[in-house]
Structure formats: structure tokens, C-alpha cells
Structure 1
Amino acid sequence: MSSENRIIASFSVPPEHSDRRLDQAAAELMPEHSRSRLQGWIKSGALTVNGKACKPRDKVMLGDKLELDAEPEAQVSWQAESISLDIVYEDEHLLVINKPAGLVVHPAAGHADGTLVNALLNHAPEVENLPRAGIVHRLDKDTSGIMVVARSLIAHTSLVDQLQTRTMGREYEAIVVGTLTGGATVDAPIGRHPRERKKMAVVPTGKPAVTHYRLIERFAAHTHVRCKLESGRTHQIRVHMAHVKHPLIGDPQYGGRLRLPKGTTDELRDVLAGFQRQALHARQLTLQHPQTGEVMTWEVPLPEDMETLLAALRKHVKDLENNDL
């Protein structure tokens, strides 16, 4: 197998990983690989220290050189399916897609097939050799919008690093309940809900999470906002906006019961009641290309259901104005 198709990496042990177990240091330095896979490479001699084979529990010291030279192995066992993808950009390293609401990203209990991963394996079979089929960040099933998938190990390593160092820019648009008077920042840690384990919540023991939001358009009893993430916690925007008492329209987990503003017309009531997903769309993505280093930005328009919702909210404002004349 040529070196182009092998998994090759080299690291010098930094101060913070000195005097740690080899498998622990390797997991920190190469987070794109599972710990069990790294341990397998150590035991087989594919991952060496200063050119010598070692055991997973052996200690590494400052300046030790870790070298990996391994054959790629299929890392997923899911099946390819012919599912259409809305491709925004692609090359040999990256695949940028516009995910529709309703599409599950990863196969899981209750969603064994018909997922984004199944579609990716059909469109780009090489992703089967990458951790999590090349997916480095995810969108909830009912969140629409832009996301990037790695098609090469170089890209996977780079994208994971950009996410960890917060250099990947992600902006979302949401429509929330209530009228906001201006933009702000929500800086509140997010972790598992103490009682409802399928939900996330703002909890003191959670991981740091920061969401910036600014106003796009204000309506009679709702607001269209743009959100920018500094971190990427599960359900972050949904949890943070609910935390500041402005949950997303249609959010089944964090939105609470349907609240209708004063003077709601039958038309608006039907639109709000019929919007059965969180009104959240990943609008823009900015990253550094893993091979060229070029900073690239993509933006996808709002989906039809959110445009329809905005049109109904604008019409409601005009109806109220006309009634006041």
C-alpha cells in the first residue's frame, strides 16, 4: 500500500503530556482516533516511541517522538444507501452539505438506516475508513442547514483541531418566542438535565458554553435572531435561548406549551401550531481548508418552512397595524 493511502502521523511529546501513559498521551494528541484503535496500533507496533515498539501503559517523556504508520481499516459497519444530498461544495478532502430538517445524522436506536451516514457511504465510500464516517460535528435531526464532513484523514484531523481550538466559525438563525430588545451573550455551562436524561440543561457542573445572539427582525411577540457559537455543546442554542426565557418556536423539548400572542389571527395560529420542529437553521460555516490553508465560507438560505413562518409573523404585524388605523 502506498504511503498516500496509509495513516501516517508524527508528534513530539509536549510538556503537558510528559510522564503520562503512552495510550493516554496518544489519545490526547490524536483525538480523531478511538482509544481502543490507538491501543491496537501500539500493541501491533504501528505506533512507536522513538522508533521502538512499546506497551500502552509505558510512560512517555518530554520530547519523545511518537510515530504512527498504519493501514486504514473500515471504522463503520453501516450500509450505503442511495439518499440524495444537497451538496454545497466538495473536493477530495471536504464535503459541505445543506442538511434538511428531519434527516438523522448517525444511525442509532430507532434510526438504523435512512441517515446522513448511510447517504455519505453511498456518495463517498472512502469515509468508511474515517472515525464516525468523517462527521466531526453534527446537527440535531430537526435542525436544518450547513455542515462539513471530512473525506480524508488529513481533513478529519484538521477539522477536529479547528473545532477544539474554536477557529471554525458557525452561525445559525433562529426564531424565538418573545420580543428581544437587543443582542446579548449567554455564558452558561451545559450538562445533562438532572432528572430528564434525554435533555440538556444549564447546570453548575456542566461544560462551558457561550452563545452570542443578535437581532435580525422583531415581530409582535417573536424575534428572528442570528446566533454565533463559541462552543459546541449538545442542543446549545436551544438550551441557552430557553434559559433566557426565549425558547425557539416549535422546540419539542425546550419550548414548553404553545404560547399565542394577543390578537393572534386564525392564520397565524395555524402556522405556529403546525411548525413541529425547532425553528433553527445552520446558516453559515467558515473554516480553514485542511490542505491549502485557505479560509473558506459557505452560506445556505433559510428553508421553506422557516420562510413561511417569517412571512406569517410579518403579516401578523401588518394586520395589527391596520387594525390600529
Structure 2
Amino acid sequence: MTILTARVPDELAGMRLDQCLAEMFPDYSRSKLQTWVKDGRVLVDGEQRKGREKLDGGEEIELDAEAEQVVEYDAEDIPLDIIYEDESILIVNKPAGLVVHPAVGNWTGTLVNALLNHAPHLDILPRAGIVHRIDKETSGLLMVAKTLQAHNSLVEQLQERSIHREYLALVKGWMTAGGTVDQPIGRHPVDRKRNAVRRDGKEAVTHYRLEQRFKRHTLIRVKLETGRTHQIRVHMTHINYPLIGDQVYGGRFQMPAECNPALAEALRSFKRQALHATKLGLEHPETGEYMEWELPMPEDMQNLIKLLTENELDQT
């Protein structure tokens, strides 16, 4: 048994207890949460309440959660690049090409399968402890909870937007300055596998600043305020600076002018979005200490930077 605690956010005021629980603890099924309410394993400000009772917002919720197997995927001996690990959390460097969670078309060979091999007890945690994802073809830092308490803490930090996440991205086009994209994101109206900026979407805020400029490309550092699916890729395409190599949002490949042969070949063969989760900061779930990790770009992106720089010199 594990006691999870959380405060009802003001935006859920007026909702029923069972509805609030579904929003606040999305990794448990509604039926499981309703059962726990009936069994008296949910306290609101220290008292038992019925699932249909409405809340005012600000109440303290205590949830007596069961540690039971919730992940049923197979453990697989897949190498993990572990950056940090203790009894509560695990920080990994995910390579480009590795799917984070099993899904249609990728039931095996994922980060979840690798985690279950490294730490079998993660099968009692929602999504094997993974509280956020990065796309298959995005590389970089990703956090994993190793206990229910840590999982609850990291999810709460994500909801409060206190997790610090920075990315490095190579985009097409010569940017003149950094800025912020504050545009809601939702499902693309035609292609359901894509997302798009749309008025009825969910709030999405992306901050970016310039790191290095080339004649027809820019290296930017991106800070996420929210974490929508494909957020950086959608927002950068929306402002007409799509990521190099983005096969979904980047549009048809066009060779930029004034490319030397080496750069032209590198751009033509770069088949993933040039995006790397370079920095991750969080409050440790047990100690409360702020911890931060930073990784350099992987070799393929570093090589692109090198060739872009050399191409600039060739033109002078």
C-alpha cells in the first residue's frame, strides 16, 4: 500500500470527487478509483466522501493505492544509457530510434521493455515508471520513477510546470531572434496521426532562443512550458521554421542553395527530426533537492553542425 497525496487544483472546482480523481491520477482506471472511494481508501481533507460529491477546489486528497502489477509487457535485454539512478528515480539518455512505450507496430524493443529488464519491480508502476515521453526519433534525457511515491511527485511537478526541460533543435531558415509560441495544439483535422495548431486545442507554450545561426539554418535552444505531443515540431513548423529531417512536419525536402557536397549529402540522408532533449531539472521526490542533468548533442547532430560551419567557411 502506498499513500499518494495531492491538492485539488482550482480548475477542477465544481467537479465530482470521482471525476477529480480521474483527472488527478490518470494512471489508474476510473473503475479502480471508484472502487477505492467505495472501500474508504480515498480521504478528502481527512474524511471519507462519496464519489458523486462535488468538490470546491483546494481540498487535500489522500489515496491509498495498491502496488499491483499494471504493466504486462516482456522484459528484454536492451542496453540502457543510465545517466543517474537511486532508489527513487532513474534518468536515461534515450537514443534516436528507440520507441518509449509499446504500441501498435512496436510491441517489443521499446524503452519500457528495457526498463523491465533492468528493474523488474517497475511492473507495478503505471507505464513502468515513465511519466513523460519523447518521440521515437528524438534523443536525450528522460526521467523514470522507481516508486509510486516518486511517480506521484514527478507527475505533480509536471502538472505544476516546475520540471525544467530544454531541447536543442536544428531548424530550416535563418532566424533573426528568439521568441515564444503560445498556440493551442490538437489533432490534425484530416491526418489523425499528426497534431496541428488549432483554436480548440490544448494550451501549448514553447520558448526558444538562438544558439547559432547559419545562412539557411539555425540552431535553437527550446524550453517547454507545456508538454503536448510533438509540441516543438508543430510549433516550429507553424512559424515556418520546421526541424531538419522531420519526416512528418518538415514538408517536402528541398536542397538549400550554396551547399557543398558533404553538407548536401548529410542533409539528404538525415532522416530524423534534429531534436535533442539536452537538459532536465527536477525536485527529487524524496529529498526535495533540485537536481539537473545536461547532455551534449548526439554525434549525428554534432556532425551536421560541423558541416554547416565548414560550409559557411567555404562561402567566405
Give the structure 2 partner of residue 221 of structure 1: 216
2:79 is equivalent to residue 79 of structure 1 = no
- Tell whether the 8 Å contact from 1:94 to 1:151 is kept in structure 2 after alignment: yes
Larger mean CA deviation between 39-48 and 216-225 belongs to: 39-48
Give the structure 2 partner of residue 152 of structure 1: 147
Tell me, which stretches of 5 or more residues in structure 1 are unaligned? 1-5
Larger mean CA deviation between 155-164 and 46-55 belongs to: 46-55
2:285 is equivalent to residue 290 of structure 1 = yes
Output the amino acid matched with 1:121.
Answer: L
Could you tell me which of 272, 279, 282 is aligned with 1:277?
272
Percent identity, please: 56
- Tell whether the 8 Å contact from 1:136 to 1:156 is kept in structure 2 after alignment: yes
5 Å-filtered alignment, 1:309-320, equals 309-320=304-315
Give the structure 1 partner of residue 263 of structure 2: 268
Give the drift of 1:101. 0.1
5 Å-filtered alignment, 1:90-129, equals 90-129=85-124
Give the drift of 1:15. 7.4
- Tell whether the 8 Å contact from 1:242 to 1:255 is kept in structure 2 after alignment: yes
Q: TM-score, normalised by structure 2?
A: 0.92
- Listed one character per residue, the Cα deviations across residues 47-92 of structure 1 (whole Å, up to 9, x for unaligned) are 3568887664x42556987543343111111111111100000111
Give the drift of 1:133. 1.3
Q: 1:55 to 1:253 in 2, by over 3 A?
A: same
- Tell whether the 8 Å contact from 2:122 to 2:128 is kept in structure 1 after alignment: yes
Q: 1:8 to 1:270 in 2, by over 3 A?
A: same
Instruction: Write the distance in 2 (CA, Å) between the matches of 1:198 and 1:227.
Output: 24
Could you tell me which of 244, 249, 254 is aligned with 2:239?
244
Q: TM-score, normalised by structure 1?
A: 0.90
Give the structure 1 partner of residue 199 of structure 2: 204
Output the amino acid matched with 1:295.
Answer: Y
Give the drift of 1:10. 5.2
Please, what is the CA RMSD of the aligned residues?
2.2
SS at match of 2:315: helix
Give the structure 2 partner of residue 256 of structure 1: 251
Q: 1:67 to 1:60 in 2, by over 3 A?
A: farther
Give the structure 2 partner of residue 132 of structure 1: 127
Larger mean CA deviation between 292-301 and 29-38 belongs to: 29-38
Larger mean CA deviation between 36-45 and 184-193 belongs to: 36-45
Output the amino acid matched with 1:219.
Answer: F
Q: 1:10 to 1:112 in 2, by over 3 A?
A: closer
Instruction: Write the distance in 2 (CA, Å) between the matches of 1:208 and 1:48.
Output: 31
Give the drift of 1:25. 3.0
Instruction: Write the distance in 2 (CA, Å) between the matches of 1:179 and 1:298.
Output: 29
- Tell whether the 8 Å contact from 1:32 to 1:160 is kept in structure 2 after alignment: no
Q: 1:317 to 1:51 in 2, by over 3 A?
A: closer
| Paired positions, count | 315
Output the amino acid matched with 2:282.
Answer: L
Output the amino acid matched with 2:166.
Answer: E
Could you tell me which of 162, 170, 174 is aligned with 2:157?
162
Q: 1:190 to 1:49 in 2, by over 3 A?
A: closer
- Tell whether the 8 Å contact from 2:4 to 2:65 is kept in structure 1 after alignment: no
2:175 is equivalent to residue 180 of structure 1 = yes
2:40 is equivalent to residue 42 of structure 1 = no
Give the structure 2 partner of residue 59 of structure 1: 53
- Tell whether the 8 Å contact from 1:32 to 1:156 is kept in structure 2 after alignment: no
SS at match of 1:59: coil
SS at match of 2:234: helix
- Listed one character per residue, the Cα deviations across residues 13-67 of structure 1 (whole Å, up to 9, x for unaligned) are 78776764331233344344332321232344433568887664x4255698754
Could you tell me which of 288, 300, 309 is aligned with 1:305?
300
Instruction: Write the distance in 2 (CA, Å) between the matches of 1:170 and 1:9.
Output: 25
Q: 1:194 to 1:171 in 2, by over 3 A?
A: same
SS at match of 1:181: coil
SS at match of 2:252: coil
Larger mean CA deviation between 167-176 and 18-27 belongs to: 18-27
SS at match of 1:180: coil
- Tell whether the 8 Å contact from 1:220 to 1:316 is kept in structure 2 after alignment: no
